[in-house]
A and B are shown apart, each in its own frame.
Chain A
């Protein structure tokens, strides 16, 4: 689960990680009201208006409705016109940004609607660095990744100048050791007071990853201010969905408006569904087989409309809901059900298919391929249902048949 920048910073601030001061705003009025207190409290005449969406590249992104407006804007109060002028400018920006569509390199061409803004104090930047804590799957440990190349995409740094990326492995029994944090500070050429501040920052950050069950914490850029403070200028956090049960406060931060409505409905039903652009709907058990089913549809010349894994313990209701979710997509011209029963028995699937086809009055062609535990019972239920279902003998056969039927 992803959270917004302002939420990530709130979680960091709670743990003693330095972040700039800021206020979240859902209306232009709230945005304007945030400016005066920020300037007063921080003594910094600069405020930044930042779009809050679950995608990166906001600073360079622009709004479809207002191509001249970018996703992040710096407003300077106190030069000409002082705070009132800054408030006017923030108000104008906020009323354009809120409710409009921000398109960045990461949102894809369809963009994302901005519903929340973060009004943040300006920071006097001496250096911009990169810092992240993430899982290294090869060693089964979290690592700290750091780079002197802050503010740019880390993938590009990894591609072009991999020697500029520093790593430190976190031993789960001990956490990040002082010597490791010190070595990172030296590697990044951080000197003076800032070095101590950095060590403190990175140690708290790596402990935060373990304590909050994050998939990823990324601070890009991590800023060293002209005063030697070390501050998270941007913050991205993603959490392990499987661990949210022990972090109800974080689970409550979920912003449903950032999710695809069909994928959200599937999640509520306990299904793994991802919408794609094709025409052949898929209902499959097991993630690997569901992926392979999509691959095979593509291989025989079709385009899959979705990924859908009904999982291990799927009930008849879940299968019914799976059908409803698939058929809600107007692009779907046919459905391929591919079940190899292990933990999920074919008779359960068959009963689900029969009731679902009846419930949703299925109008598109359906190909079913069943194999595995209780397969005879499953096929019997399908055959005795008097449904118009084509059965297939293998995955490839099923993919070819559904393609024929939709042409």
Chain B
């Protein structure tokens, strides 16, 4: 088992600019079942992808791939034609919120929004729009979701992952890679790694993902990576203390961040004394989460938490 994505996940890509094309290619190389693209001005054509297979991905494939991805004008048409149940959004910020809502309206179960820089006001409306839909949104401003050896949706380097028994969840892309890399090197591997994104308003929270890991029989422990700003880590700590049986290790970035400054991520800001690393570390420690002192110690913290 795993969470969110597996080998049955069929993925549409929304937004096929340079970034979208590059990462669609790496997803296909990994073995993700990419089934179509949404690009209004090129509807009816095909996008061609070929290259050498990434053998760190889905096992048992040929050494090379050559794929013609059909292009559709809208998500609804693409779902009708392909039966896709997931989509990945690389659409530029001004149009990304609309792309997410379009995917939800078309009945897509999982939307992974990679786009960074979507206005907060747009995301407030998206969350309201999704409230009565069955769609789960992961992101925006995130690296995506990967279940090693089955499905990679997003921009993470596939080869650092290895199938195993640890769940990873993070607000930061590159810190997710750090954690994954260490967990792989320790031979523990991952069930699934989820980037929930660095924006102040996002689709899926720490608590949502922790609950899924708790319910996933294959996941034996979780690495949770937070950062300054907001109270999502405190809420997660509360959930861990009351509702989780599995061990959790954690890291919080931003101990040295000056207050009132937005540290790269739109959501990473200490304002009015709230959202500090110290407060989060304290909440997580009292919930029994094993804290890594530096990002290089995240894997070791997981080992200690597993006992």
Nearest opposing residue in chain A for B265, CB measure: A287
| A interface, over-half SS | mixed
Give the number of residues in A that approach B within 8 Å (Cβ atoms): 57
- The 8 A CB mask of A213-255 against B (1 = contact, 0 = none) is 1010000000000000000000000001011011000000000
Chain B residue contacts of A155, Cβ below 8 A = 272-273
Q: Is the CB of A137 within 8 A of B200?
A: yes
Q: Of B26, B201, B296, which is within 8 A of A296 by CB?
A: B296
Query: Chain A's nearest CB lies how many Å from the CB of B25?
Result: 12
Instruction: Given the known inter-chain contacts A287-B198, A307-B264, A343-B155, please indicate yes or no for A295 contacting B253, CB distance below 8 A.
Output: yes
Nearest opposing residue in chain B for A307, CB measure: B263
B121 within 8 A of A: yes
* Interface size class, chain B: 35 or more
Chain B residue contacts of A291, Cβ below 8 A = 172, 227-228, 253-254, 256-257, 263-264, 268
Q: Is the CB of B157 within 8 A of A373?
A: yes
A185 to B297, CA, bound (A): 52
Nearest opposing residue in chain B for A372, CB measure: B157
Instruction: Given the known inter-chain contacts A342-B155, A343-B173, please indicate yes or no for A137 contacting B267, CB distance below 8 A.
Output: yes
Chain A residues numbered 256-314 whose CB sits less than 8 Å from any CB in chain B: 272, 274, 276, 284-292, 294-300, 304, 307, 309, 311-313
Chain B residue contacts of A142, Cβ below 8 A = 124
Q: Is the CB of B256 within 8 A of A298?
A: yes
Q: Is the CB of A290 within 8 A of B263?
A: yes
A60 within 8 A of B: no
A152 to B181, CA, bound (A): 49
Nearest opposing residue in chain A for B229, CB measure: A137
A173 within 8 A of B: yes
Nearest opposing residue in chain A for B272, CB measure: A155
Q: Is the CB of A242 within 8 A of B263?
A: no
Instruction: Given the known inter-chain contacts A137-B201, A137-B231, A340-B174, please indicate yes or no for A292 contacting B157, CB distance below 8 A.
Output: no
B123 within 8 A of A: yes
Given A135-B120, A213-B119, A276-B256, 15 new contacts (CB under 8 A): A137-B229, A154-B272, A213-B120, A288-B265, A288-B268, A291-B228, A291-B257, A294-B256, A295-B277, A298-B256, A311-B116, A312-B155, A343-B19, A343-B173, A371-B177
Pairs A–B under 8 Å by Cβ, sample size 10: A135-B201, A141-B124, A155-B273, A240-B266, A242-B266, A288-B170, A289-B174, A307-B263, A343-B143, A371-B177
